[in-house]
Structure 1
Amino acid sequence: MASPRVQRMSSAFSRTSSGSPRLQVLASHRSSSLSRFDRESLSENAADAAAAEAASRAAIEEFKNDKIFSKFLVDDFNVTQFASEALSSGSAAASSEKLREGIELLERQLRSEVFLRHDELLEQLSSLKETESVLTVVRAGVEGLQASTQRVRAEIAEPYKHIKTKSRQLASLHDTVELLRTVIRVLKLVKRLHELMESGSATADLAKGAQLYNEIETLRKETDLAGVEVVDDEIPWVLEVGTQIKNEALKGLEKGMEALNQAEVGSFLQVLYNMGELKPTVENLIGKYKGLTVKSVSAALAMKPISSSVGSSLGSGSMQRTNTSQGAGNPRSRESLWQKMGTCMDQLHGVVVEVWHLQRVLAKKRDPISHVVFLDEVMQPGDPMLAERVWETVVKSFATQMKSAFTASSFVKDPFVVGYPKLLGMVDGLLERLFRDTNVKGVPPAIKPEARDQLVAALEPFQTAYLGKSLGRLSELVNSMFPSAVRGSIPSQEQVFRLVSRIQEELDIVKSDVKLTFLVLQEIGEILRLLAEKAEYQTATGPESRQVVGSLTPQQLKNITLSLQLQDVHARVTAMLVGLPSAAIEVLSPSLGSLYGVASDCITTLFKAMMERLENCILQIHEQSFASEDMDAGMGNGCSKYMEDVQKSIMHFRSEFLSKLLAGPTLAITSVSGESISTGLARKLASRVLLFWVRHAAMVRPLSESGKLQLISDMAELELVVGQSLFPVEQLGAPYRAFRAFKPLVFLETSDFASSPSLHELPPTIVLHHLYTRAPVDLESPMQRMKLSPQQYSLWLDAQGEEQAWKGIKTTLDEYAAKVQARGDKEFSPIYPLMLQLGASLDWKSSRLLN
């Protein structure tokens, strides 16, 4: 195996001599002889090499383990640093001696290496000599190769130079031809432009001229024509014509947009497109219109011009004495402000419509040659429409100027707060006109539906202030009706009228705007709740407010007056809601409910006291005997004594109380039942009296034929006095039908009970209680069984209802059956099966007449 150095030399020789057969033979022969030599020398000196290798490793290990010599083995050994450390350690002599010993060790090792590898070194020396002879042969071959290359280069260089020169001449000729062609094309286009401009300036000619100008400019940009005299002479005129065409196109475009003429706008847009100026021109127009909107809003809210105009009309002396706050209250300044605001709305409308018109034409117009839609040329996908961009500027400018005017200028703030509905009406008018004027089928409108919310949001400070003033005006009226919240005072009719009129005015002012109407209704709701609270505080309580035997007390009169006033307000406000959306009623429904509740509470106690008085009078029917066949004794004028008390009480109630309660305004009606609270309570009182009498008349036991006649006579008297003094009985509905059905029931034969149509008009308890009057004595009624007084039993019936009453009746029937069976009787009274049959067949759940 050859040594590494011999292998490298052999490889280099092989690469160098690869181009010469002679060199290849020599290299092969030398390589084989060297390989034999290496194998023999390695076999002879293997032991010595192993020993030398072991000694070298031992020396290296000794150096690594030594703290001084190990420093010499690192890659970044620094001689200066080592010397400095040796001198600073104070043992320089020891270090020097140590280094001397190391040098001697290295020298011994080197001598040993040379001695052990003496034959190998001699071999390497002979190999170098042979290598030099090989390199001489290679050098001769390389020189021959260089000479051949020089000859080839001399044969190829001359044709290459000739071809390169000809190619350069051809490229120059080609550039010259292209330049000449471009010059000729430019000159032709300039000539056509001359002819066109001399022929006239119609829009069609402008479009052609613009196209020619654009082609000339395109050629100039693509090819450097500077220095070509025939072209340079024409360029100033071409540029002048281009400026002239562009100016005429811009003027025509502005006129067409002002006149909203689609044909004109489309023609001049074509001119600008042909010139390559479409997109920058549209951008400039949008910027111009944005500036106009900002300027228009700023001019409308500028205080100084308005003050100057007002001051000039008042005179110089007046102008000096007029400050900003005084100017805000001047009628002329307010009128001037509103006029400027109206002008601003007209200008904004005109700007937005013109931009929308431009947008519409751009969306429809196509280039007749390339068929490109103009709108696609001026907009990128996803960009907002032109009208939307201008409208966004309108909203931002409006919001900024309005906020500044509200915070910094009472001159603008005060009129706009007081006249906020008018300001909102102007905004709505602007939006309505924009929607109407840009509502074209197949074309997006100029503004989106949320545009109103955007502008109204800018007016929010004025809206809040306006609602606050509205609430303040109404609160002031309510507080004046109840000064200092002193108990005992009640408002006058004039004060109530002023409050209702003010509410009507507040609604009339804002009725044109639905959202503002709802906001004002919320303020009105708060006022109605405040009115209800103050009226409730003024309501009289105590025994004097509940007495019904004597004359009308001042406390009762006060409660009646408050109730009628609240009913009047309730009815008039309810009438104001006619024609408004149903949601408006829902806004005021809680407040109207509070007002209705207080108005009802003012007089409910009085009606309850009248009801209790009449019930006590009717309950006296049980103290009178209806069993005698001769009923003339103790009866005067054809009616019972208890009935006389009922009549006297009802007529007293009519003269003292109901005459006041039922004499209120005709508008005092509720939105639900269509009647006043007083009328509704009178109706309930009349219904209760009729049914209460029927209930207890059915309980009269025993009842003779004369007793039946007396009951019917009392019934007629009761119907007459109730109809005349409480409520028309014919309008009572089911209670009156039940009252009328009791008369035939009294005279009905027991055998005909089951088939009588009157049963369906009466509560089941009344029917069954009347049958007790026809039953034997041992069939006790529930009242007798529970040992209750008529009043207690009546209260029990009111509390339990018809179903529980039937259970009580069923219990008495079961007890009666048990008694009969205990006696051993074979038959029951005919009333027993009849009552069981009726109890099972009658509808106990549907009867709620007395509740």
Structure 2
Amino acid sequence: MENQDSLIEQIENDDFFKEFLSDDSSRALLTKSIAFTEQVRKLGEGIDALNKELQRQVLENHQDLLRQAHHATKLEDVLNIMNGHVQNLMANAERLRTQITVPCEQLENHTKVLSRLHKASHILRQVARVQQLSKKLGSTNDPVQKALLLQELEQLAADPELTDIDAITTELRNVRVQRQKVVQLAIGALHQGIEHENVVQTSMALQIFINLGTIEPTLETLIKENLNECGDILKMALDSATNPVVLVKSGRGQLPSSQGFRQKVWTELEKGFSEGIYKICKQIKFLQSALDELHMPHKVLAEQFWDQLGQIVKGETGRAAASAAVQQLLHEDYPKLLKFYCDMMGKLSYEQFKFDRDVLKPLENSYLSSSLTKILEPVQSMFNMDGTVPSQDQIDALIRVLTSELSVALVEEQLSVRVAKNVSKCIKMFAVKTEQQIENGPEAAQVIGGSANGGQQKNLQYANSLHYFSSQTQRMLNNMRDSLSEEGLSVINESLRTLDALTGAILQPLVTSINSVIETIMVTMHLEPDWGRPSSTLCSPYMRELVQFIHRVYRTYLSGFTNRDVLSEKCSEIALRCIELFVRHSSILRPLSRSGRQRLQSDCRHLEEALKLICPQLPSLGRPYRLLKSVATLITQSAEEIVAGQARGGGGSVPHSTILFMLFSYAGAELASPHQNTGWSLPKLSAWLDEHPNESDRLDLIAGAIQRYESLIRAKNSPNYDPVYPIMSKFLENALKETAL
């Protein structure tokens, strides 16, 4: 093995032999400079070396070579045996193929024969059926039955196997002729039946198309034709105005008058909706009912027609709007168009024909916009100049505009509601403009002078103009109550409340000032020196001043307001505050003699009479009025009688805190009143009571005063309490229990 490796290395490393190992060794030899004989010699030596190496290898490995030769012989024998087996297998496979192929070929031939027989049988049956049906077709005069036969014949004729059958060529040609006749008959019957609303004729025509299997395309065509006719009607009506040039006898053209132009358009539109389109819609309604009776699945036929009709109306009105004259006409008189549309729906009275606002929405929006502008213009003109109060004539002119707009919109409920919202915007704008003009400074609130100042007089005029506008609007609504919808009435009435609210806002500064002056006068009650001494005076000085003040402010500042409802409400506020302050200050007034109590009782009667001037229905105030009457009764009773009366009446209309305040006036100086106990002034006490209307808070304040008195007596080690103390203590205890429940 080593010799072999060395020989190979020697050959590979030799420059001469190396050339023979390359792919192009012959070309390499030609370029060598060695002599040819030398090359031959070298080659001979190399060949000899190779032969010797081969012989040596054979000698060394002859056993292996012999074994391989033996194995090759055995392999050849095995291959010969396998070849025999393969030959046998191929022979058997050929025999098996022959056994299978022959029956298959026979079966295939039989199948072809059977298929041809079946085809021939089918053709014969179809031909026989065609001839049979053709015979029936010729013998029947019923178009419905003919349609049924024709449908079956059409299905048979569609069979490609019958294309080249001469025996039925005549029958198939007759089928086509008969079909055309039946279709023409059915179309005529359908149109005539729908036009005259003949149920029998229409049902027959529909049944023919059902039998022919063409009901769907027939209905689609019919709907399309009717929609096109509706479109033509609208187009003609609108186009009659787009070319408003007419010929006179001289042959020259002239434009008709604006009124004539409008009249012509609306006459044509009214005719189109009330006659042409109405007639078509009525026919579709009848067609739908006929389909329903046949139990056909066309429940939405009328609905689809109506939706498409709406799109046509929308498209035609939009197209006509390209003309400036027609556009202005449709926008300004939109309610007329809507009335025609709604009247047609009302005459049809069909649930499938529902009003779709989107159809006329562009026109409606434009109309509402121009209507709002028309409504707001008078309001703008009223307030063009600062300080100018709207006159009744101006307000009447505005009411006429509002009435006109609402009346025109009554053709349809939703349009009426939307116009009512425009009216509401107008009312609110009137309120805003007025609010911008009224005087809000200190001058508007003064009630001390002998007469109203300029700002107050101007405010009075604005408030009265608000009331006049509100009352005239309400009068308009009363006249239209039967025609306006509840929603529309509600919208306008809601906006009218803003006028009353603004009138109340104008009055409020006066009310606040009046209440402030009333409280100032009430406080002077405590400054009068003769409450604890006998006196023959029937009316206290503070009460005379209060009565005079009430009469003066009502006559000077309040009586001129014409809005009696708002004035009554504000005067009721004044009366309530006046009663509250009188009860409050009279209950904490001390000391009081017997005559002082009688005079205070007389003051109650004088106050009641004075308040009836500003609040004639004083008893309608309810509990506050009953409180005044109860205090007038209690004020002259003893402490024991007051408490006993409260126990019998279950508390009545007089709060426990008020009773306790009154009981302090029966006590000596040591049992100080709550405000004396806390060191408060009378105005501070009054302010605290305003801020604490809760009865429990007021009872706590009174309890503090009584507890302080108890502490004072204990500090003195005095065994004697004020005679009214036990009464007050017991009453306070019961009052606190009731309040806690």
The superposition leaves residues 166-202 of structure 1 with CA deviations (integer Å, 9 ceiling, x where unpaired) of 99888777766655554444333333322224xxxxx
Q: Distance in 2 between matches of 1:111 and 1:285?
A: 110
Counterpart amino acid of 2:506?
C
Equivalent residue runs for 1:177-216 within 5 Å: 179-197=123-141, 205-216=142-153
Q: Distance in 1 between matches of 2:408 and 2:47?
A: 118
Q: Tell me what 1:477 maps to.
A: 378
Q: Distance in 1 between matches of 2:375 and 2:115?
A: 95
Q: Structure 1 405/223 Cα, relative in aligned 2: closer, same or farther at 3 Å?
A: closer
Q: Distance in 1 between matches of 2:427 and 2:30?
A: 112
User: 1:560, 1:660 within 8 Å by CA — same for their partners in 2?
Assistant: yes
Q: Distance in 2 between matches of 1:308 and 1:600?
A: 55
* Residues 1:558 and 2:447 are matched in the alignment: no
Q: Tell me what 2:415 maps to.
A: 516
Q: How far off its partner does 1:681 sit?
A: 0.6
The superposition leaves residues 213-248 of structure 1 with CA deviations (integer Å, 9 ceiling, x where unpaired) of 334443333365566655334444333222112221
The counterpart of 1:809, out of the listed 661, 679, 702, is 702
Q: How far off its partner does 1:318 sit?
A: 7.9
- Mean Cα displacement is larger for which, 215-224 or 702-711? 215-224
Q: How far off its partner does 1:389 sit?
A: 3.8
Q: Structure 1 265/588 Cα, relative in aligned 2: closer, same or farther at 3 Å?
A: same
**SS of the residue aligned with 1:595?**
helix
Q: Tell me what 1:442 maps to.
A: none
Q: Tell me what 1:466 maps to.
A: 367
Q: Tell me what 1:737 maps to.
A: 626
User: 1:820, 1:828 within 8 Å by CA — same for their partners in 2?
Assistant: yes
Q: How far off its partner does 1:310 sit?
A: 5.8
Counterpart amino acid of 2:590?
R
Q: Tell me what 1:797 maps to.
A: 689
**SS of the residue aligned with 1:707?**
helix
- Mean Cα displacement is larger for which, 615-624 or 312-321? 312-321
Q: Structure 1 645/56 Cα, relative in aligned 2: closer, same or farther at 3 Å?
A: farther
The counterpart of 1:706, out of the listed 583, 595, 598, is 595
User: 1:622, 1:700 within 8 Å by CA — same for their partners in 2?
Assistant: yes
> Normalising by the residue count of structure 1, what TM-score does the alignment of the two structures yield?
0.70
Equivalent residue runs for 1:583-732 within 5 Å: 591-592=495-496, 594-627=498-531, 630-632=534-536, 635=537, 638-661=538-561, 664=562, 668=563, 676-732=565-621
Q: How far off its partner does 1:793 sit?
A: 3.2
The superposition leaves residues 465-501 of structure 1 with CA deviations (integer Å, 9 ceiling, x where unpaired) of 12211221222121112114x1x22111222333344
Equivalent residue runs for 1:437-456 within 5 Å: 437-438=350-351, 446=352, 452=355, 455-456=356-357
Q: Tell me what 1:401 maps to.
A: 316
**SS of the residue aligned with 1:727?**
coil
- Mean Cα displacement is larger for which, 822-831 or 467-476? 822-831
Counterpart amino acid of 1:219?
L
Q: Distance in 1 between matches of 2:345 and 2:173?
A: 50
Q: Distance in 1 between matches of 2:532 and 2:208?
A: 120
Equivalent residue runs for 1:44-83 within 5 Å: none
* Residues 1:410 and 2:324 are matched in the alignment: yes
The counterpart of 1:527, out of the listed 420, 426, 436, is 426
Counterpart amino acid of 1:498?
A
Q: Tell me what 1:37 maps to.
A: none
Q: Distance in 2 between matches of 1:395 and 1:319?
A: 36
Q: Distance in 2 between matches of 1:107 and 1:189?
A: 108
**SS of the residue aligned with 1:330?**
helix
Q: Tell me what 1:754 maps to.
A: 643
The counterpart of 1:419, out of the listed 319, 333, 339, is 333
Q: Tell me what 2:262 maps to.
A: 330
Q: Distance in 2 between matches of 1:629 and 1:271?
A: 117
Q: Distance in 1 between matches of 2:619 and 2:233?
A: 72
Q: Distance in 2 between matches of 1:603 and 1:411?
A: 51
Q: Tell me what 1:25 maps to.
A: none
Q: Structure 1 780/165 Cα, relative in aligned 2: closer, same or farther at 3 Å?
A: closer
Q: How far off its partner does 1:774 sit?
A: 0.9
Q: Structure 1 403/818 Cα, relative in aligned 2: closer, same or farther at 3 Å?
A: same
Counterpart amino acid of 1:437?
Y
Counterpart amino acid of 2:350?
D
Counterpart amino acid of 1:269?
L
Equivalent residue runs for 1:13-24 within 5 Å: none
* Residues 1:290 and 2:224 are matched in the alignment: yes
Q: Distance in 2 between matches of 1:813 and 1:135?
A: 138
User: 1:567, 1:676 within 8 Å by CA — same for their partners in 2?
Assistant: no
Counterpart amino acid of 2:631?
F
Q: Distance in 1 between matches of 2:54 and 2:199?
A: 108
Q: Structure 1 315/833 Cα, relative in aligned 2: closer, same or farther at 3 Å?
A: farther
* Residues 1:782 and 2:674 are matched in the alignment: yes
Counterpart amino acid of 2:673?
S
Q: Structure 1 139/819 Cα, relative in aligned 2: closer, same or farther at 3 Å?
A: closer
Q: How far off its partner does 1:660 sit?
A: 0.9
Q: Tell me what 2:36 maps to.
A: none
Q: Tell me what 2:725 maps to.
A: 832
User: 1:697, 1:711 within 8 Å by CA — same for their partners in 2?
Assistant: yes
Counterpart amino acid of 1:614?
I
Counterpart amino acid of 2:430?
L
Q: Structure 1 56/745 Cα, relative in aligned 2: closer, same or farther at 3 Å?
A: farther
* Residues 1:273 and 2:210 are matched in the alignment: yes
User: 1:782, 1:808 within 8 Å by CA — same for their partners in 2?
Assistant: yes
Q: Structure 1 563/239 Cα, relative in aligned 2: closer, same or farther at 3 Å?
A: same
The superposition leaves residues 684-707 of structure 1 with CA deviations (integer Å, 9 ceiling, x where unpaired) of 212222332232223332222222
Q: Structure 1 718/145 Cα, relative in aligned 2: closer, same or farther at 3 Å?
A: closer
Equivalent residue runs for 1:103-252 within 5 Å: 179-197=123-141, 205-222=142-159, 224-225=161-162, 231-252=168-189
Q: How far off its partner does 1:680 sit?
A: 0.5
Counterpart amino acid of 2:677?
R
Counterpart amino acid of 2:726?
P
Q: How far off its partner does 1:134 sit?
A: 9.7
Q: Structure 1 796/265 Cα, relative in aligned 2: closer, same or farther at 3 Å?
A: same
**SS of the residue aligned with 1:755?**
helix
Q: Distance in 2 between matches of 1:624 and 1:587?
A: 56
Q: Distance in 2 between matches of 1:136 and 1:696?
A: 143
- Mean Cα displacement is larger for which, 237-246 or 227-236? 227-236
- Mean Cα displacement is larger for which, 177-186 or 573-582? 573-582
Q: Distance in 2 between matches of 1:761 and 1:71?
A: 138
Q: How far off its partner does 1:353 sit?
A: 1.7
- The percent of aligned pairs where both chains have the same amino acid is 21
Q: Distance in 2 between matches of 1:820 and 1:318?
A: 120
Q: Distance in 2 between matches of 1:137 and 1:680?
A: 133
User: 1:300, 1:344 within 8 Å by CA — same for their partners in 2?
Assistant: no
Q: Distance in 2 between matches of 1:536 and 1:474?
A: 19
Name structure 1 gaps, 5 residues minimum.
Answer: 1-47, 73-81, 95-99, 198-204, 365-373, 439-445, 669-674, 847-851
